[in-house]
Homo-oligomer: A and B are copies of this chain.
Amino acid sequence: MHENLGNQMHNICNELFPICRSITGDGFRQSLDILRKHMPNLKINEVPTGTKCFDWEVPKEWNIREAYIIAPNGKKICDFKQSNLHVLGYSTPINKLVTLDELQKHLHSLPDQPDAIPYITSYYKERWGFCIAEKERNKLKPGDYKVYIDSELKVGHLTYGEAIIQGKSDKEIFISTYLCHPSMANNELSGPVVTTFIAKWLTRLRDRRYTYRIIIIPETIGSITYLSRNYKEMKKNVVAGFNISCIGDERAYSYLPSRHGNTLSDKVAKHVLKHTHPDYISYSFLDRGSDERQYCSPGIDLPVCSIMRTKYGCYPEYHTSLDDMKLVTPIGLNGGYEVLVKTIKCLEQDEILCTTVFCEPQLGRRGLYPTISTKASSLQVKDMMNFLAYCDGNLSNIDIAEKINVFLLDIEDIVHSLKEEGILKPVK
């Protein structure tokens, strides 16, 4: 089944890949529509250009139809149709002849990665530009170049998607991902696609304890905009949150903490990764670079950390045309999905229990303990006795699992039995 899930997610990534997304515009809307097919409860929101959001305001909406350069020899290069990365994000329209010298001022390439088209944007200063592989740039001969960008910057909207999946409690788990990147795969089609499948799984999850707030936004301005409208309610309700990004390749599992690294999100993320992928990479908050920058900012202080596969900025293909659909795989996507599902399961099970009897309970007569003594007790009995020993009403189940060195999901049956037997009960 799960391999199947990986393929499904990979197929949707493939469908989304060619679309030219940015922080605003029709590409973003079109991509949201594709995801909404798998996540019917996703509501689309539109915030008008110029709306004040804390220290920022919603920028003009950007759309683009066509862009290319005609070289002196008549050949079309940097064709937007070939790769939407060829155009500097938020480029103003242009249509003129320029010399090679003039053109060079508007070209962006990576000398260290001669085959890669870089991903460059200029959201808050109007300029035009093209991105090109260094190898191609070096072939350009002097002469007149026709530069043509058929784009539009206009008063419009910033678009985002939001789904609220109600649970028994109003306390919330917050999941945020971003969809503003054009044709790149790990950073960032993996995040929105895996998040969509998590949302799908959550709607089927019986007896959900928590309410889930899931948003698909443009990065930075999207989280700032969303927070400016929702932060008061979120500060009241959100008990844990995750920024979902770079979760589709096969190379690593990674964790980036919240600002102080001491929230419930951090605790559960580290517990799950330690037991499922003990060789995971643990970054510092100083290595951050995505929307946790806003969620964990002073005064906002939401308990948000990141669980990733290979982190943005930490792989050579990052923010170039090399971050493509070969890098993101069904196995990679499924691995990221699995870790997030386990993380949510642990959160759902992380209550504070207390023993109902003094001293160890007589478990033998309940069929939970061997009736004959032996030199060594089984691992399962040991875990059960250890778990019981720490159920003092102060520690949550994850705390105890950490203390007794087991993965919470490996003892869920034991915990369930002890609750069924009336030996453990939740602390109000």
Q: Given A124-B365, A364-B124, A392-B301, verify A318-B375 contact (CB < 8 Å).
A: yes
Chain B residues lying within 8 Å of A373, measured Cβ to Cβ, are 89, 119-123
Chain B residues lying within 8 Å of A124, measured Cβ to Cβ, are 362, 364-365, 371
User: Once the chains are docked, how many angstroms separate the CA of A293 from the CA of B299?
Assistant: 43
Q: Mark A386-402, 1 if CB is under 8 A from B, else 0.
A: 10011111000000000
Q: Mark A200-230, 1 if CB is under 8 A from B, else 0.
A: 0000000000000000000010011001100
Please determine whether A296 and B389 come into contact, CB atoms closer than 8 angstroms. Answer: yes
Report the interface size class on chain A. 35 or more
A361 adjacent to chain B (CB < 8 Å): yes
Please determine whether B357 and A54 come into contact, CB atoms closer than 8 angstroms. Answer: yes
Most buried by B among A55, A259, A389: A55
A297 adjacent to chain B (CB < 8 Å): yes
Please determine whether B297 and A359 come into contact, CB atoms closer than 8 angstroms. Answer: yes
Please determine whether A359 and B122 come into contact, CB atoms closer than 8 angstroms. Answer: no
A196 adjacent to chain B (CB < 8 Å): no
Chain B residues lying within 8 Å of A382, measured Cβ to Cβ, are 286
User: Once the chains are docked, how many angstroms separate the CA of A360 from the CA of B362?
Assistant: 57
Q: Output the nearest chain B residue to A312 by Cβ-Cβ distance.
A: B375
Q: Output the nearest chain B residue to A383 by Cβ-Cβ distance.
A: B286
Q: Output the nearest chain B residue to A299 by Cβ-Cβ distance.
A: B358
A47 adjacent to chain B (CB < 8 Å): no
Interface of A is mostly: loop
Stoichiometry, as copies per complex, reads 3
Chain B residues lying within 8 Å of A299, measured Cβ to Cβ, are 355, 358, 392
Please determine whether B300 and A359 come into contact, CB atoms closer than 8 angstroms. Answer: yes
User: Once the chains are docked, how many angstroms separate the CA of A372 from the CA of B105?
Assistant: 13
Please determine whether B359 and A286 come into contact, CB atoms closer than 8 angstroms. Answer: no
Chain B residues lying within 8 Å of A122, measured Cβ to Cβ, are 371-373
Q: Mark A84-95, 1 if CB is under 8 A from B, else 0.
A: 000001000000
A339 adjacent to chain B (CB < 8 Å): no
Please determine whether A297 and B389 come into contact, CB atoms closer than 8 angstroms. Answer: yes
Partner of A364, one of B125, B227, B285, B392: B125
Chain B residues lying within 8 Å of A294, measured Cβ to Cβ, are 359-360
| Pairs of residues from A and B, 10 with the lowest C-beta to C-beta distance, nearest first | A298-B392, A125-B371, A55-B357, A294-B359, A55-B361, A54-B358, A121-B373, A224-B359, A55-B362, A124-B364
Known: A285-B389, A300-B358. 20 other contacts (CB 8 A): A54-B357, A54-B358, A55-B357, A110-B375, A119-B373, A120-B374, A121-B372, A122-B372, A122-B373, A127-B372, A259-B390, A297-B355, A297-B358, A297-B359, A297-B360, A298-B391, A299-B392, A300-B359, A313-B376, A319-B375
13 A-B pairs with CB atoms under 8 Å apart are A55-B358, A122-B373, A125-B371, A127-B372, A228-B359, A231-B358, A294-B359, A297-B389, A298-B391, A299-B392, A301-B392, A313-B375, A318-B375
